[in-house]
Amino acid sequence: MSYFFLNEYDNMEVYIPGEQPHDRKYIKLNANESSMPPSPKVLEAINRAQLNSMGQYSDPHCMELREAIGKIYGFGADQVFVGNGADEVLGFCMLSFFRPGMKVCFPDITYDFYRTYAKTYQLDYEQFPLKDDFTINVEDYVKTDRDVILANPNNPTGQAISVADIERIVAANPKRMVIIDEAYVDYGTESCVELVRKYPNLVVVQTFSKSRNMAGARIGFAISTKEIIGDMNKIKFTFNPFNMSSFAIEAGTAAVSDTEYLQKCVNQIIHNRESFEDEMEKLGFEVIRTCTNFAFMKIHGMEAAALGKELKKRGILVRHYPTERLHEYLRITIGTEEEMAEVVRNIREIMERVTTCTF
């Protein structure tokens, strides 16, 4: 650490993404990425004319992309904020509305980035425990006086709450900000974005990283009131006015209007997930059914960590969380049919070896 590093960051906790090893080719199912390409419209949009205009700055207002996203949900561009991935959108939200000591809450098991942010910027955060079945106890968030951050559906548990429940949380106190992170909403959960028309304290965040197969393009967005979006844009212009590259703006605009392709990919993932979950149940694992692009399950017959390690040896990366409540579980992103067949074959083989010989 340098002499200059602020001691405000003494309790900082960096976010650790799913590993990206390059020592060999892996079937990469540890970061909820996609093995499918983006909409073919993206390739059409990133053409030679685009390349030739690289000498100019991108539009700092990202109008084209904001309008295209707004159109899908029936909002004007003034109610849409876009950023370099949902993570940056969340970051700008925090930077605009949270200061050290402010009270915020989120579940004990959720997207780690929330705690990273809360710790780094010294928010006064509380983590409400999920119930034993990994669902959220909605009452915790209705009763609290804290601002709320919830992933819906949640990651890594894949469980969702209803729009009616979110409405109860949002309506409980209009002076409290509620951020709903809908990274996985396209896989069959109802979005709460319509509530933005009724409540002044709701921010809905989504991403192109999951259902639109564009994690590497880094595109995320928030939909909220004009006032909240205006505030976030003000802060953006004090920090990084050109936060979106012209490529991301063009690619995102092309992708967002291709709802047909989105639906096709989502249906494929849901189909692959359901057959994979069925196979895992046949192996005796306790599958917590999700509405996302990943499977979440309790491993029986061997340690989940050991199974994860064995899969890695065989060129398959999955996610294991070495925490008290999760160490018996694995989260496995859903890939193509071929990839999932390979995963099933390997898991079956490993489990057969476990039951026929003792390690």
CA-closest candidate to residue 39, choices 244, 187, 212, 247: 212
Residue 106, token pair as written in the block:
């989120």
Alpha-carbon distance 105 to 177, whole Å? 11
**Is residue 81 a contact partner of residue 90, using CB atoms and an 8 Å limit?**
no
252 backbone dihedrals φ, ψ, rounded to 5°: -65, -45
Question: Which residue type, as a one-letter code, is found at position 51?
Answer: L
Helix axes 259-282, 337-356, angle to 10 degrees: 10
Alpha-carbon distance 60 to 68, whole Å? 16
Q: Interface residues for ligand PLP in 95-124 (CB under 6 A)?
A: 111
Beta carbon of residue 170, minimum distance to ligand PLP (angstroms, whole number): 18
Site string for ligand PLP, 159-188 (x = CB under 6 A): ----------------------x-x-----
Where in 108-243 does DSSP place strands (E)? Answer: 124-128, 147-151, 178-181, 202-207, 220-223
Residue 351: partners with Cβ closer than 8 Å, 6 or more residues away: 283, 301, 302
Alpha-carbon distance 324 to 93, whole Å? 30
Is the Cβ of residue 161 or residue 350 nearer to ligand PLP in the bound state? Answer: 161
Is the Cβ of residue 33 or residue 339 nearer to ligand PLP in the bound state? Answer: 33
Dump the DSSP string for 7-49: GGGTT-----PPP---SS--EE-SS---SS---HHHHHHS-HH
158 binds ligand PLP (CB under 6 A): no
Stretch that binds ligand PLP, among 66-74, 85-93, 94-102, 304-312 (CB under 6 A): 85-93
Is the Cβ of residue 209 or residue 233 nearer to ligand PLP in the bound state? Answer: 209
157 binds ligand PLP (CB under 6 A): no
87 binds ligand PLP (CB under 6 A): yes
Residues in contact with ligand PLP, counted by CB under 6 A, come to a total of 13
Q: Interface residues for ligand PLP in 4-63 (CB under 6 A)?
A: 32
Stretch that binds ligand PLP, among 1-9, 82-90, 252-260, 333-341 (CB under 6 A): 82-90
Is the Cβ of residue 95 or residue 171 nearer to ligand PLP in the bound state? Answer: 95
Q: Which of 220, 252, 308, 335 binds ligand PLP (CB under 6 A)?
A: 220
Stretch that binds ligand PLP, among 57-65, 80-88, 312-320, 330-338 (CB under 6 A): 80-88
Nearest residue to the partner ligand PLP, using Cβ: 85
Binding site for ligand PLP (CB under 6 A): 32, 85-87, 111, 151, 155, 181, 183, 207, 209, 215, 220
